[in-house]
Chain A
Amino acid sequence: MIDNTNDTLSKIVAFSINDKEYGVDVQYVVSIEKIMPITRVPNVPSYIKGVINLRGIIIPIIDLRTRFQIEEKPYDEHTRIVIIKIKDKQVGFIVDEAHDVIQISEGNVEAQPDIIGSEKKEYIDGIIKIEDRLLMLLNIEQIMNV
Chain B
Amino acid sequence: MKKMEMNQYLEVFIEESREHLQNCNEQLLQLEKNPENITIVNEIFRSAHTLKGMSATMGYEDMANLTHQMENVLDGIRNGKFDVSSDLIDLIFIAIDQLEAMVESIASGGDGSADVQETVEKLKFFGTEGSLPPQSDSKKEKVTSDINETSSSLKLTYDTYEMTVLEQSFEQGYIAYELTVSLRPDCLLKSARVYMVFNVLEKLGDIIKSNPPVEQLEEEQFDLQFTMTVITNESKEDIVKKIMKVSEIDNVHVVPIQLEDLQNKQKSTGETHPKKEDTNQKKDTEPKEQVQQKNKRGNLHKTIRVNINRLDELMNLFEELVIDRGRLEQISKDINHPELTDTVEKMSRVSSNLQSIILTMRMVPVESVFNRFPKMVRQLSRELHKKINLQIIGQETELDRTVIDQIGDPIVHLLRNSIDHGIEMPEERRKKGKPEEGSIELKAYHSGNHVFIEIIDDGAGINREKVLEKAIRKGVVSEEKADRLTDKEVYDLIFSSGFSTAEKITDISGRGVGLDVVKNTIESLGGSITVQSERDKGTRFTIQLPLTLTIISVMLVEIKQEKYAIPLTSIIETAIIKRSEIQYAHEQPVIDFRGKVVPLIFLKDVFQVPGEELEDDFLSIVIVRKGEKLAALVVDSFIGQQEIVLKSLGNFLTNVFAISGATILGNGQVALIIDCNALIK
Chain A residues in the interface with B (C-beta under 8 A): 37, 39-44, 48, 50-53, 56-60, 88-91, 144, 146
Contacts and interface: CB of A to CB of B under 8 A. Distances in A.
10 contacts: A39-B662, A42-B607, A42-B609, A44-B653, A53-B669, A58-B649, A59-B650, A89-B652, A90-B650, A144-B652
A88 B651 contact: yes
Contacts of A50: 670
A90 B606 CA distance: 27
Given A41-B653, A57-B650, 8 more contacts: A39-B562, A39-B662, A43-B608, A53-B669, A56-B320, A60-B653, A88-B651, A90-B651
Contacts of B664: 53, 56, 58
Nearest to A50: B670
A39 B657 CA distance: 16
Contacts of A57: 647, 650
Contacts of B651: 88-90
Given A53-B664, A56-B320, A56-B323, A39 B652 contact: no
B656 A41 contact: yes
- The DSSP consensus for interface residues of chain B is loop
Contacts of B669: 37, 39, 53
The 6 closest A-B pairs by CB, nearest first: A42-B607, A39-B670, A89-B652, A60-B653, A89-B651, A43-B657
A142 to B, nearest CB: 14
B179 interface: no
Contacts of A42: 606-609, 656-659, 672
B606 A39 contact: no
B652 A58 contact: no
Given A37-B669, A53-B670, A56-B664, A43 B650 contact: no
What interface size band does chain B fall in?
A: 20 to 34
A39 B610 CA distance: 12
Contacts of A90: 650-652
A90 B657 CA distance: 20
Given A40-B562, A42-B607, A60 B649 contact: yes
Contacts of A53: 664, 668-670
Interface in B622-681: 647-653, 656-659, 662, 664, 668-672
A30 B607 CA distance: 31
A72 B598 CA distance: 42
A31 to B, nearest CB: 16
Contacts of A51: 649, 653, 662, 670, 672
Given A41-B672, A43-B656, A51-B662, A60 B650 contact: yes
Contact of A43 (B607, B648, B662, B671): B607
Nearest to A43: B657
Most chain B CB neighbours (cut-off 10 Å) among A57, A58, A88: A58
Interface string B544-572: 00000000000000000010000000000
Interface in B581-627: 606-610
